[in-house]
Structure 1
Amino acid sequence: MKVLQVNCVYRKGSTGKIMYDLHTAFEENQIDSVICYGRGEKLEGAYKTCSELYSKVNNLRSRFTGIMYGGCFFSTNRLIRIIKKERPDIVHLHCINGYFVNIYRLVTWLKKSGICTVLTLHAELMHTANCGHAFECEKWKTGCHGCERYKKETRSILLNRTHVSWKRMKKAFDGFEKLEVVSVSPWLMERAAQSPILGKLSHNVILNGIDTDTFRPSDTEELRKKYASDGEKLVFFVTAAFVTDPGHAKGGYYLLELAKRMKGEKVRFLVAAGTCEANVAWPENVMFLGSIRDQTLLAQYYAAADACLLVSKKETFSMPTAESLSCGTPVVGFEAGAPETITLKEYSRFVPYGDVDALQKALGDVLNSEKEPQIAEKAATKYNKKRMAEEYIRLYHKMLKSGENHE
């Protein structure tokens, strides 16, 4: 069996790491594995299908056309040529946004070619045809007419063409018989199944996997001495971007509000962020750690904490949930869609989004309880990347067997 994966990036970002983990697992299982990606530096052993300059040209083009997922004539041709050359049994699509491929053309070509295809949904863009997170908006269920957020979501300078994009996406997927849609959480699958674009297709849930040899309980004595020398409880918060705007999806505002409320208590908040806005007024009980790229060090912070905090508005999976629990640390946060559906419920507390009173109480309850040693063992079974790869391999075999039966 040969599997060809396509993603916007490779070996970086959550989806790029997932693709690499699957690639490694496939090779260990004597499955021929081919990697195609569009953005980032050229890496050995993989096809980079689009130059950075060309992706920027397509990005600029989309600002004027209002269509994010079109264009990319030459890079789409290159990707299709590679697929023809490699002749895979399975094409596995991950996140294919990023101005490196014409999604409508690629999906239509795969459909007409009769190639067994897996589409993993890591965000909502494939069933909304536009935005990565629809939040409270439900216009994606009826055609995305009159989008009020089109300038923010599509970055279009003038034209509101979300409905055009929606129609093109629906046309591309209509009648795609050899396609299996995989969502990374039950919540995301439920959403995708409600979409006219993907609703009639076959749906599955396969949770993302992580490296549980890295994310596991570890010796945290040094970190505890550094940040909790006076017996403080530690709350760890990880985010891609720390922004203090109350409306920002990652919830930095709520972290600060919670810290201010708990200022007189023996609680310290540790914040790790990929990026952070300038001149944040950090309360004295908050320590900003910057970006933690070392995965082993990140795991040590999870393990050292007494609780992991989640304050996002919406998440389609939640890597911090899986990583924290695998390190033996319970999770407290707002209900954000997917996290409460993929967590270990007995070691997590979720409250309605924006309810800081309820969040403070839930966090206090967790901090006043002892961490249970069995958390990490149960999490390792649920979230390990070997389990993820095995589930995909079973799906591939099922698809190929079904294809043989229909020939």
Structure 2
Amino acid sequence: MKILLVNCVFGFGSTGKIMLDLCRGLIEHGHEVKLCFGRGKQHNSDYATLLASPFVQKIQSLCSKFTGRGYECAPISTHHLFSVIKEWKPDVVNLHCVNANSINVAETISFLKENNIATVISNHAEFLYTGGCGHALSCEKWKIGCNDCEQIGKSYSMLPYSFVPQKTHRYWMHLQKAYSGFGKLIITGVSPWLVDRISDSPFFKSNQSFVVGNGLNTDVFSPRNYDYLLEKHQLTESQPILLHVTPNFFSPIKGGKYVLEIAKEIKESLPEAKIIIVGYRGDTSNLPENVIPVAFTKDQRELADYYTMANLTLLTSERETFSMVCAESLCCGTPVVGFKAGAPETISIKEYSRFVDYANVKLLHDAIIEMIKYKKINTINIEKSHYLYSVDRMVEGYLKCYIKVYKSEDINISR
């Protein structure tokens, strides 16, 4: 098959790395692959195409900020994508995380529908069925139209940044029109929790939806030697170590403040324990003494070394649609403790994870005390993790969807 993937980025960031692995996996299976991406710089690859120059990207971004239309201000990127589709004639198009002004989302879906192109839409967040928020949190207005959005004007909004109020209802209506009558369409989500949400959307009542979990490089994320890290941070093998990995410690949705609260709580219950925060970018002078800040690392092997060294990995997010941190930690043999955040509790290995009610620091502390006594995950369950979160399993999952949508004249099968 000829398969066209579309994503906001390629080769970096969480979905950018996933796209790189997916492309390589599909090619290994003997398929022709192209990938179009909307943000960043041209990648040194035969199959990747940047849809707009960095200058055009900035113009499109400014347009969205001045109009409040975060998913409808990328005309140049969108028409470049259309030209690629018309020229290359893919058998299947798979839209992934197409935010950040990478393409005009509803316009692209309409184009694929009108041209009867077999399509898979893969949800890594929630903006493909809401009025534009990446996480709807407790709001359920996405089921009825996204009027009067409560995220508008918030300092840490789940909506794309804008200088003016975002047009959430307008975008929702455009999505509804685009999806309506699109028979040759399959929807995927990266976790059972996300697919349950998708099934509640009025957009997809006549379309099939499937779980295709994210995959990672299990050759990298495996138990590794970490002696140099013990020496670097002046730690001993007997010290309890908690690890928190974050792309944005100060974002409220990532719950960084709860890590600091836990640090205070464990001073008495685990006086020898240390909490390592990988990805901390801020003033370190006021951090608790039992917290070790580590700058963000792009070295995946070093990150795997930190996971292996830790006794527990700590998740404090309010919402996650998958949680690569959870998957990476389990693959390295380290159990996970955290708040219930939607997806993590549905994709983790139950025996080696504990999740408590969001923001309940006491319950989180109790779970840490319980789980810190656990031994490292044994070899059998590490192998289970490697299977569950493998790139091969992810590729096979997407391939099944591609074949299903490509071979079907019409897939309007009610759930």
TM-score range, shorter chain: over 0.9
> Do 2:312 and 2:334's aligned partners in 1 also have CA atoms closer than 8 Å?
yes
**CA distance, structure 2, for counterparts of residue 49 and residue 396 of structure 1:** 23
Question: What amino acid is the match of 1:217?
Answer: P
TM-score (norm 1): 0.95
Going from structure 1 to structure 2, the CA distance change for 1:404 and 1:121 (only over 3 Å counts) comes to closer
Pairwise CA distance, 1:367 = 0.9
Map 1:60-75 to 2 at 5 A. 60-75=62-77
Question: What amino acid is the match of 2:7?
Answer: N
**CA distance, structure 2, for counterparts of residue 37 and residue 5 of structure 1:** 8
> Do 2:323 and 2:344's aligned partners in 1 also have CA atoms closer than 8 Å?
yes
Counterpart in the other structure of 1:236 = 243
**CA distance, structure 2, for counterparts of residue 120 and residue 289 of structure 1:** 33
Asked whether 1:186 is paired with 2:205, we answer no
Q: Deviations over 1:381-400 (max 9, x none)?
A: 11110111011112212222
Pairwise CA distance, 1:58 = 1.9
Counterpart in the other structure of 1:366 = 371
Going from structure 1 to structure 2, the CA distance change for 1:279 and 1:372 (only over 3 Å counts) comes to closer
Counterpart in the other structure of 1:217 = 223
**CA distance, structure 1, for counterparts of residue 299 and residue 2 of structure 2:** 32
**CA distance, structure 2, for counterparts of residue 405 and residue 99 of structure 1:** 30
> Do 1:267 and 1:285's aligned partners in 2 also have CA atoms closer than 8 Å?
yes
Counterpart in the other structure of 1:54 = 56
Pairwise CA distance, 1:262 = 1.0
Pick one of 309, 317, 327 that aligns with 1:322. Answer: 327
Asked whether 1:289 is paired with 2:289, we answer no
User: Tell me, what secondary structure is at the counterpart of 1:95?
Assistant: coil
**CA distance, structure 2, for counterparts of residue 8 and residue 208 of structure 1:** 16
Counterpart in the other structure of 1:386 = 392
Map 1:1-400 to 2 at 5 A. 1-44=1-44, 45=46, 46-151=48-153, 152=157, 153-227=159-233, 228-229=235-236, 231-243=238-250, 248-264=252-268, 265-273=271-279, 276-278=281-283, 281-373=286-378, 374-400=380-406
Going from structure 1 to structure 2, the CA distance change for 1:325 and 1:230 (only over 3 Å counts) comes to closer
Q: Deviations over 1:89-142 (max 9, x none)?
A: 111111111112111111100001111111110000001131000111111111
Q: Deviations over 1:216-275 (max 9, x none)?
A: 0122233345443272111111000111x7xx01011000000011124221111111x6
301-310 or 220-229, larger mean C-alpha shift? 220-229
User: Tell me, what secondary structure is at the counterpart of 2:267?
Assistant: coil
Alignment identity in percent?
A: 41
> Do 1:9 and 1:16's aligned partners in 2 also have CA atoms closer than 8 Å?
yes
**CA distance, structure 1, for counterparts of residue 205 and residue 300 of structure 2:** 37
**CA distance, structure 1, for counterparts of residue 117 and residue 357 of structure 2:** 43
RMSD over aligned Cα atoms: 1.8
> Do 2:127 and 2:133's aligned partners in 1 also have CA atoms closer than 8 Å?
yes
**CA distance, structure 1, for counterparts of residue 396 and residue 409 of structure 2:** 20
User: Tell me, what secondary structure is at the counterpart of 1:150?
Assistant: coil
> Do 2:123 and 2:190's aligned partners in 1 also have CA atoms closer than 8 Å?
yes
113-122 or 150-159, larger mean C-alpha shift? 150-159
> Do 1:150 and 1:156's aligned partners in 2 also have CA atoms closer than 8 Å?
no
**CA distance, structure 2, for counterparts of residue 125 and residue 280 of structure 1:** 38
**CA distance, structure 1, for counterparts of residue 396 and residue 115 of structure 2:** 27
Q: Deviations over 1:282-337 (max 9, x none)?
A: 11111011111111111111011100000000000000000000000000000000
Question: What amino acid is the match of 2:240?
Answer: K
Question: What amino acid is the match of 2:78?
Answer: T
Question: What amino acid is the match of 2:299?
Answer: D
Any unmatched runs of 5+ in structure 2? none
Any unmatched runs of 5+ in structure 1? none
> Do 1:116 and 1:179's aligned partners in 2 also have CA atoms closer than 8 Å?
yes
Going from structure 1 to structure 2, the CA distance change for 1:90 and 1:318 (only over 3 Å counts) comes to same
Question: What amino acid is the match of 2:256?
Answer: G
**CA distance, structure 1, for counterparts of residue 77 and residue 227 of structure 2:** 51
Pairwise CA distance, 1:168 = 0.7
> Do 2:3 and 2:92's aligned partners in 1 also have CA atoms closer than 8 Å?
yes
User: Tell me, what secondary structure is at the counterpart of 1:39?
Assistant: coil
**CA distance, structure 2, for counterparts of residue 112 and residue 62 of structure 1:** 26
**CA distance, structure 2, for counterparts of residue 100 and residue 298 of structure 1:** 29
Pairwise CA distance, 1:278 = 3.6
Q: Deviations over 1:172-204 (max 9, x none)?
A: 111111111110001111111111233432100
> Do 1:56 and 1:99's aligned partners in 2 also have CA atoms closer than 8 Å?
no
**CA distance, structure 2, for counterparts of residue 157 and residue 222 of structure 1:** 47
Going from structure 1 to structure 2, the CA distance change for 1:159 and 1:365 (only over 3 Å counts) comes to closer
Going from structure 1 to structure 2, the CA distance change for 1:160 and 1:327 (only over 3 Å counts) comes to closer
Pairwise CA distance, 1:160 = 4.7
